[in-house]
């Protein structure tokens, strides 16, 4: 019994016809990720401006309905954001200046505590080895040939100062670029808000059939409403948490509590990882500041307690259930955007995921993605 002579060739041709498509899709995704990572200096302010546009659009539309000019409202909103950012920078300037002025004392304190920890470890090792101590490795670096003990003790401090000086110089070099990105984002936000009717009209005209036009308008309005509700609620919760942490650390005697309050406000935009970063940072600073282990534990446990109350009680009760997200894609999104864009990527990871879910909810072919991203 013989088979058709072209059957094998037909199967191989069909398999070959599907292979290039998969390869092209894979290559496209790799190039897309690489392009997004390389263009972060341009795309970060664009994404930031788009998120602010959808968040502020309901407020802008409401003020327009009250009779205010659209461009005037856009200018007031952008100017208000600029004033708010300037106020935050002004509040942080004092603590940052205080830390910078006390940097030599901080370095000396760190060196002293590290030396004390080294001596404690050596004493513990020697207590466990009461015999011959010659085989115990010394944690103290060897003296140079023509050096002294004082010069050796000063070497780690000078190295620490040089490392911090290089980091500070890097931040100073990058500061103008960050300011330029912020200005670009605010200018783009002004044009988006002042031209919102034209933008929406163009999107509707681009849609083909009448149901497509209606779906486009519905998607835009739902994105505005839910993003405004989500980010507005999260911002208020984070501001309250930052205030509580700042006051609590001030009561415990921590230095620059205002700086820790602002960091807690920013860190809490990063799910899961933000709370861990805040607990670790506050505990390390407390370890360098206080002399008793009880005070150090009080700082770390207070930060952990306040973030736990916020995450387990406050946020679930204030955030609508329809806006809660699946923990797995949220964590993966934060990790991915942290790898792509660093700290700023972590800040916008969840809002981008929320926007993707809202868009997927309005498109029937993407309902599976929306269901996967939801916490139901």
Select from 248, 372, 266, 356 the least CA-distant residue to 306.
248
User: Phi/psi class of residue 326: alpha, beta or left (left: φ > 0; alpha: ψ in -120 to 50)?
Assistant: beta
H, E, C per residue of 289-317: HCCCHHHHHHHHHHHHHHHHHHHHHHHHH
Neighbours of 340 (CB within 10 A): 17
Whether the per-residue pLDDT at 169 is higher than 70: the answer is: no
pLDDT of residue 320: 61
User: Apex CA 82: angle with CA 77 and CA 88, to 5°?
Assistant: 125
Is the pLDDT at 244 greater than 90, yes or no? yes
Q: pLDDT of 314-371, one tens digit each?
A: 887 777 665 677 788 888 888 888 888 887 888 888 888 888 887 787 777 777 887 8
Look at residue 115 and tell me whether its pLDDT is greater than 80: no
pLDDT winner (highest mean) among 134-148, 205-219, 298-312: 298-312
How does the average pLDDT of the chain come out, rounded? 75
Q: What is the pLDDT of residue 105?
A: 67
Please give the structure tokens belonging to residue 280: 């670790």
Which helix (H) or strand (E) is 165 found in, with range? Answer: helix 149-194
Domain-by-domain residue ranges, the chain? 40-119+158-206, 225-376
The model carries a pTM of: 0.68
Greatest distance between any 2 Cα atoms in the chain = 96
Report the pLDDT value the prediction gives residue 17, as an integer from 0 to 100.
53
The C-alpha atoms of residue 107 and residue 99 are separated, in whole angstroms, by 11
Q: Which residue, 270, 226, 188, is CA-closest to 359?
A: 226
**Strand (E) or helix (H) holding 170:** helix 149-194
Residues paired with 325 in a beta bridge: 374
DSSP, collapsed to helix, strand or coil, labels residue 375 as coil
Q: How many CB atoms lie within 10 A of CB 35?
A: 10
Express as a percent the part of the chain with pLDDT over 90: 5
First to last CA, the chain: 57
Higher pLDDT, 97 or 187: 187
Average pLDDT score over residue span 255-262: 85
Q: How far apart are CA 16 and CA 80, in angstroms?
A: 59
Pull the structure tokens for residue 71: 């461009």
CA distance 70 to 196: 9
The rounded percent of the chain whose pLDDT value lies above 70 is 71
| Length reported for the chain | 376
Residue 170 has pLDDT above 80, yes or no: no
Burial of 250 (0-12, 13-18, 19+ CB in 10 A): middle
Question: Which stretch of 127-136, 175-184, 244-253 has the lowest confidence by average pLDDT?
Answer: 127-136
Whether the per-residue pLDDT at 136 is higher than 50: the answer is no
Is 174 exposed, middle or buried (CB count within 10 Å of its CB: 0-12, 13-18, 19+)? exposed
What span, in angstroms and rounded, lies between the C-alpha atoms of 354 and 86? Answer: 28
Instruction: Please give the Cα distance from 376 to 368 (Å, whole number).
Output: 13
């Amino acid at each position: 019994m013989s088979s058709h002579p072209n059957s094998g060739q037909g199967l191989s041709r069909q398999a070959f016809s599907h292979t290039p498509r998969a390869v092209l899709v894979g290559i496209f995704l790799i190039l897309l990720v690489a392009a997004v990572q390389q263009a972060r200096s341009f795309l970060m302010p664009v994404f930031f401006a788009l998120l602010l546009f959808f968040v502020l659009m309901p407020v802008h539309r409401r003020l327009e309905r009250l009779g205010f000019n659209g461009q005037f409202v856009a200018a007031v909103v952008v100017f208000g954001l600029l004033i708010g950012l300037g106020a935050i920078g002004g509040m942080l300037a004092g603590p940052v200046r205080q830390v910078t002025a006390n940097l030599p004392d901080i370095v000396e304190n760190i060196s002293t505590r590290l030396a004390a920890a080294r001596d404690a470890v050596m004493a513990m090792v020697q207590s466990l080895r009461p015999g011959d101590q010659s085989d115990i490795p010394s944690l103290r670096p060897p003296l140079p040939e023509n050096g002294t003990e004082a010069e050796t003790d000063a070497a780690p401090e000078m190295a620490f100062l040089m490392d911090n000086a290089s980091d500070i110089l890097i931040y100073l070099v990058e500061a103008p670029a960050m300011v330029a990105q912020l200005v670009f984002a605010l200018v783009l936000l002004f044009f988006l808000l002042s031209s919102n009717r034209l933008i929406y009209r163009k999107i509707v005209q681009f849609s083909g059939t009448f149901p497509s036009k209606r779906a486009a308008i519905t998607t835009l309005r739902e994105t505005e409403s839910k993003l405004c509700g989500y980010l507005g609620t999260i911002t208020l919760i984070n501001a309250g948490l930052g205030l509580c942490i700042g006051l609590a650390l001030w009561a415990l005697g921590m230095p620059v509590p205002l700086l820790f309050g602002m960091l807690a406000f920013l860190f809490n935009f990063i799910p899961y990882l933000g709370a861990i970063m805040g607990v670790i940072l506050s505990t390390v600073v407390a370890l360098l500041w206080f002399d008793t282990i009880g005070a150090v534990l009080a700082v770390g446990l207070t930060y952990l307690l306040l973030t736990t109350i916020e995450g387990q009680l406050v946020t679930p009760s204030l955030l609508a259930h329809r806006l809660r997200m699946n923990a797995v894609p949220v964590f993966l999104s934060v990790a991915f955007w942290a790898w792509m864009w660093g700290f700023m990527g972590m800040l916008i990871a969840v809002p981008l995921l929320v926007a993707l879910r809202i868009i997927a909810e309005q498109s029937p072919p993407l309902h599976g993605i929306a269901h996967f991203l939801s916490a139901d």
